[in-house]
Structure 1
Amino acid sequence: MLLTAIYHILKKKEPYNPELYQKSDVFPVSREITVDQAILLAKSQGFKIMMPETSVT
């Protein structure tokens, strides 16, 4: 985050504004994803996804 701030300060020749970079630390209160998106996210992080076993009675 610090490197991003420095990059923009040097590129745009603007003074540092800490308020712009504090906002990026705050996550939305309500975040929702679908089951398929959650599975893809877990796979991208290296998790192995196993299907639940169905019991036949």
Structure 2
Amino acid sequence: MSIERFLFQVDRMKALYGYTDSENFTVYLLNLPASIGKCSKTKQTIILLATTL
């Protein structure tokens, strides 16, 4: 998944679930299914993005 596509999905999920609190959203991202974060680099990217939202 490209970074642009991931960011689009992040925005979509935030709107869908009504997340305005980035801390809670970080927790949500960290609990995403493993299929999105099969490699550690992807997981690190998700964590990095989550902490900067």
Q: Which has the higher helix share?
A: 2
Higher relative contact order (CA 8 A, sep 6+): 2
State the structure with more CA Rg.
1
TM-score (norm 1): 0.31
